Amino acid sequence: MMFLGSKHCPHCGATAAQKTAAQLSILKCPRCKIDMSSVTIGTEAMRECERCDGLWVEAAAFEKICADREEQSAVLGVASPAPAHPVDLTSDHNKISYAPCPQCGQLMNRINFAHCSGVIVDVCKGHGTWFDRDELSKIVQFIRSGGLEMARQKDKMEIEFQREQLHTEQMRSTDQDLLRRSFADEERIGGLFAARGLLKFLIE
């Protein structure tokens, strides 16, 4: 996050960038219920609430930000005004609540981005992601620090572990089937020997 008047991001050195107006349809902030303004950061248009500084980013735009370092630099380079008042930790905005999607009105899912970033965002799979103040910058910092790659490696290891567990269970099940068949074969052979002995006894 950068504050007004800064020339570079104190965390990554990104050059200060400016928000510019964009032409998007008007949507309501899911937190404040007021009209959001349309802004462009880098080349991506998104909507911003001027009261809570939250951002509504549509799915395609967020995917591009995650993949494009120039877009990430633009996000980190945007100056944010300092809060006019101390943050009230008891306010409604700081309580855990499910927000409605600004586009379809359905309650969004709260998701820990990449399962390990520690940044909880509100997601509508069909439309986009809501970021409370500074959350988009935190996610970009997470991505640029290698967080996504670490998350992929973690997921890959989990998949491999589950695959090995499944293989072990299948092998155990196969061994049990073979053991049951072996017992059944032994019982059948034993029965044949007994019948043959009885027949021999009766004939002789």
pLDDT in tens, 77-102: 875 555 544 444 455 555 678 999 99
Residue 6 confidence (pLDDT): 47
Using CA atoms, how far apart are residues 91 and 72, in angstroms rounded to an integer?
Answer: 30
**What residues are paired with 120 via a beta bridge?**
112
pLDDT at 119 over 90: yes
36-45, 58-67, 169-178: least confident range:
169-178
Averaged confidence pLDDT in the chain: 80
* pTM score, whole prediction: 0.64
b/e map 155-172, b = 16+ CB within 10 Å: eeeeeeeeeeeeeeeeee
